[in-house]
Amino acid sequence: MAAARAAAGALALGGLLAGCAGSSADAGPGGGDNRFIGGDGNVQRIAASARASTPSASGKTLEGEDLALSSFKGKVTVVNFWASWCAPCRGEAPSLEQVYGQNKAEGVQFVGVDFKDAAENAKAFQRKFKVTYPSFFDADGQIGLAFRDVPPNAIPSTLVLDRQGRVAARIIGATTFSKLNPLVTEVLAEK
């Protein structure tokens, strides 16, 4: 009896987890299950005393240049996970660029992480939405793995890093100017 209940519980848990994994219908180019689900735009703030160490992420940009997240240490950095195949990413792109434009003179850096995408589609996305900050080309999802302490969990997701490079806030799902700009301002005000 106990074994049957345990098996039924395991089966139910497996079904629940499978429902959160995404489907091949929302997978990016190359097919397969992307293991990301859509977020609802909720904001998670992380107290300075609870922030994990700096994620180590480096790679090539969409333009083929070397980029290391550690090069932005000392700046508040906004990391946005996106893909050209993601409709909510297209919706939030103008807001991200607006927040970047308004705050870059204060020393705020933005960097995108183009996730499981085709390079030419991603470059077309950047041209269309006039994105002026660099993006990692993360076709295999390795950059996202560097954020295992505070994972992005959805496309799009946005992380705000403090001056030490630690995740101070996370938005799972699309963001807006009115949601992201106050977060950037809060982290900028930290000493």
pLDDT in tens, 16-58: 222 222 333 333 444 333 444 556 668 889 999 999 887 889 9
CA dist 110 to 18, 78, 175, Å? 33, 5, 14
What are the residues whose beta carbons fall under 8 Å from the beta carbon of 125, sequence distance 6 or more?
Answer: 82, 84, 89, 90, 93, 131
What are the residues whose beta carbons fall under 8 Å from the beta carbon of 52, sequence distance 6 or more?
Answer: 149, 150, 166, 167
Peptide bond into 152 cis (omega under 30): no
What are the residues whose beta carbons fall under 8 Å from the beta carbon of 51, sequence distance 6 or more?
Answer: 162, 164, 166, 167, 168
d(CA 158, CA 154): 9
What are the residues whose beta carbons fall under 8 Å from the beta carbon of 111, sequence distance 6 or more?
Answer: 67, 69, 72, 77, 78, 79, 80, 133, 134, 135, 136
List the one residue out of 97, 103, 167 whose CA is nearest residue 133: 97
157-161 and 77-82 strand pairing: antiparallel
Whether the CB-CB separation of 137 and 114 falls below 8 Å is answered with yes
Task: Give me the pLDDT at residue 14, please.
Answer: 30
d(CA 123, CA 114): 10
Task: Give me the pLDDT at residue 15, please.
Answer: 30
At residue 40, what is the residue type?
Answer: D
Q: Which helix (H) or strand (E) holds 59?
A: strand 58-60
d(CA 128, CA 161): 27
Residues lower than pLDDT 50 in the chain: 1-36
